[in-house]
Every structure is written in structure tokens, then in C-alpha cells.
Amino acid sequence: MKTTVKTICNFILIAVISCSNSERQGGITGSSANRDNQETEITYVPGMSLCKAASYPVGVAVSAEKLGDSRYAGVVRREFNSVTAENQMKMAYISVAPGKYDWERADAIVAYAEKNNTRVHGHALLWHESLPPWVENFEGTDEEFEAEIKTYIQAVVEHFKGKVASWDVVNEAIEEDGSWRNTVFLQHMGEDYVARCFRWAREADPGVLLFYNDFNLSSNPVKAQAAADMLKGFLPVDGVGMQMHIQVETPAISKIADAVNIFTEMGLIVHFSEIDTRLNADDKLTELTYEAALAQENRLGEIVDMYNTIPESQQYGITFWGLRDNESWLLSRYGTDWPLLFTETYEYKIAHRGVIRAFE
Ligand code: XIL
């Protein structure tokens, strides 16, 4: 009886504390499975939503289709006040042909955000892993290639002007050894292509925040320094997105802090832009154990504690790379894992508690 009352109270509390200013959704979907709330449970009943507890935006990677599901959208609305398109603002999705654009899915994400008073982070104008066929197989001259890329960047930035708060202008341009990644962009446009892309984006929208986004910046000091050196070279950069695809043990917090300091000392805003935590890198688990869930809770707590030390004016926020474990991109890449904050049935993992506690 006692626990039932507690559950109902939490239910009401969550309904009231939604970050969204508009339509409120019902209670905690799926949380009733965890009524006992014992200390060995991998899920729990939250007392607070992420975006209410945080002093900076908390985001999640989404798709238009998922946001079309009312249950999914209800959890996103309650927990997050920033969204990133997991894929649908990438070039392969938007650019049908030179000068021809498909805005539909990206616009649907923006429409969700407008309705729910949610920030949109644009991801990503250029990424070598999301190329439409016409870019991959370009047959014109380098000058023509560059002109098309400029047109594309400016068309996208203009289309979302006033709707998207920020853009990852170039994603993953640097190799692990600090050299330029040998992409189709480098091949056609030369080494200062990143700087030119930032300038074109800035021309198209003087008000939007421009980020460089990459992975392993927190685990690889050589790469972080190479990114910093690159960014020192040009003015229109506002921030850096550190993707934060991390594991439970690595990288060490001190390493993450060192990388963050490189960027904050340059005056850049820092976005932990794609957080997920692999619990099963050695492939020993076939189900999520309490120990692994607890390790994830503690790990996310220390990650957020670290993020909290960044000066407020340089905190862009933190974004989780998906909502539920079953939808994480890591599963198809590495196999069984539980990298996110929610179960497939929308139960709150104790990882969520780790994040909330660090916000408080
Ligand atoms: C991933 C998406 O999550 C997948 O759905 C897609 O198949 C490939 O891209 N770094 C990034 C993200 O910057 O855009 C990637 O997202 C994950 C790695």
C-alpha cells in the first residue's frame, strides 16, 4: 500500500513538472512494473524529470517517425528540452540532388520542437558517412564541387534560420592521429575546407551557433589538440561537440576534464553531444544486471558532475544519443548492450537517477 501511494505521488509529480509549456502528457509510462523500487532493481520511479532538474539544456537524438508516436513523444516532452535529429538533418537525407532538397522529416522535428518549446540542435551539415550519391560519385571539377557544397550548406542553414539554434557544421573531420580525415570534402576542397564551411554557414545565418563535432575527443589528447588547433584558425566557431560515446571505465574523468579544458580555455562552448555508455564492450553480458546498471548510474553521475564544472556561459548542454536501449545505434554496430536511460518499454533505468542526482 505504502509503495503504491509513493508511486502515485511520483506519477502526479512527473505530470506536473514537465518542461514543456504546452500540452501535458499523462504519468510515467511503464514505471508501474517497478512498484517495489528495491535497491537491486535496474529501473526506478523518478521524482523529477531531467530538464527540470538541470540548469542547462538536456537533449536527445530523435526521428520524425518516433516523435509521431504519442507514447515516445510524451517521454521526450517530459524529460528533454533539446532535440537533435539522429539522422534526418544529415546530407544523405536532405540533399536529393544538387539544388533539390527533401525537408519533410527535418521539418517535422522542427514542428515538434516549436510546439513543445524545445531547442533544436542541427546535426550535421557535412559528414563523410552521410553522403548522397551525387556527392559520393561527383564527376565535375573541384570548383563545381565546392560551389555545390556552398549552395547546400547555405540552403540548409537558411531553411532552418530562426528554427535551429545551432549546427554541427562539420562532423568528424580529424583522424585519431590528428591528421585530416581523407574524405570526399578534403579531396575536392583541400585542407582549409572546414574553415570555409564555417564561413558559409555564418554568412547564411549570423545568429546561429556553429559547432565542430567529433568522437574520441575526450579519450585521445592528440585528436583533441588537433581539433583545437584547427578551430584556433578560424573565427566563426562558437563551440565544440564532444560526442561522448563512452564506456563505464573509460575514458577516465581526468582525461575528459583535460580535453574539456582545452576547449573552454579557448572560450568555446562545449556540448556533450551524443552520450551513450557501453556496458558490454567485452560481450560477457546477455542481460542487463543490477551491477552493470549501477555502474552506468555512477558513471553518468560522474560525467554530469564533470560537465557541471564548466563555466555556465560555456555549457551548451548534454544530449543523449537516443531514448531507449533497444534503439541505440551501438547495437547494430557492436552487439547486445544497454547504452541509454530508458528500457524498451519506457521504464526509467537507474542511469536516469545518476544523471538527476548530479543535477541536484
Ligand atoms: C549514427 C546514427 O545513430 C545511426 O542511426 C546511423 O545509422 C549512423 O549515424 N557519430 C555521429 C552520429 O555524429 O551522427 C552517428 O549517428 C553516430 C556517430
Q: What is residue 38's predicted lDDT score, i.e. its pLDDT?
A: 56
Alpha helices in the chain (DSSP H): 2-16, 50-53, 64-67, 70-79, 91-94, 104-115, 133-136, 142-159, 184-189, 193-204, 221-232, 253-265, 290-308, 329-334, 350-359
Q: What is the mean pLDDT of residues 178-194?
A: 97
Query: Cα-flanking dihedrals φ and ψ of residue 297, to 5°?
Result: -60, -50
Distance 87 CA to ligand 1 centre (A): 7
**β pairing state of 119-127 and 100-101:** unpaired
pLDDT at 24 over 60: no
What domain count does the chain have? 1
What is the residue with the minimal CA distance to atom 17 of ligand 1? 329
Q: Which of 329, 331, 332, 334 to mutate to test the pocket of ligand 1 (most atoms within 8 A of CB)?
A: 329
Q: Which residues line ligand 1 (CB under 6 A)?
A: 86-87, 171, 215, 243, 274, 329
CATH number at residue 336: 3.20.20.80
Could you say which of 86, 146, 172, 347 is catalytic?
A: 172
Distance 22 CA to ligand 1 centre (A): 30
Q: What is residue 93's predicted lDDT score, i.e. its pLDDT?
A: 98
pLDDT at 184 over 50: yes
- Assess whether 312 carries a catalytic annotation: no
What is the residue with the minimal CA distance to atom 3 of ligand 1? 329
Q: What is residue 49's predicted lDDT score, i.e. its pLDDT?
A: 98
Lowest mean pLDDT among 36-40, 267-271, 315-319: 36-40
Beta carbons within 10 angstroms of residue 231's beta carbon: 21
Query: Cell numbers at residue 180, please?
Result: 585530416
Of the pLDDT bands very low, low, confident and very high (cuts 50, 70, 90), residue 18 is: low
Q: What is residue 5's predicted lDDT score, i.e. its pLDDT?
A: 37
- Give yes or no for a contact between 339 and 279, defined as CB atoms under 8 angstroms apart: yes
Q: Which of 83, 84, 87 to mutate to test the pocket of ligand 1 (most atoms within 8 A of CB)?
A: 87
Q: Residue 288's domain spans which residues?
A: 2-359
pLDDT at 25 over 80: no
pLDDT at 29 over 90: no
Give the model confidence (pLDDT) of 238-274 as tens digits: 999 999 999 999 999 999 999 999 999 999 999 999 9
Query: Cα-flanking dihedrals φ and ψ of residue 160, to 5°?
Result: -100, 10
Distance 281 CA to ligand 1 centre (A): 18
Work out the burial of residue 309: count CB atoms within 10 Å of its CB; fewer than 13 is exposed, 13-18 middle, 19 or more buried: exposed
Give the model confidence (pLDDT) of 100-142 as tens digits: 999 999 999 999 999 999 999 999 999 999 999 999 999 999 9
Q: What is residue 1's predicted lDDT score, i.e. its pLDDT?
A: 33
- Assess whether 172 carries a catalytic annotation: yes
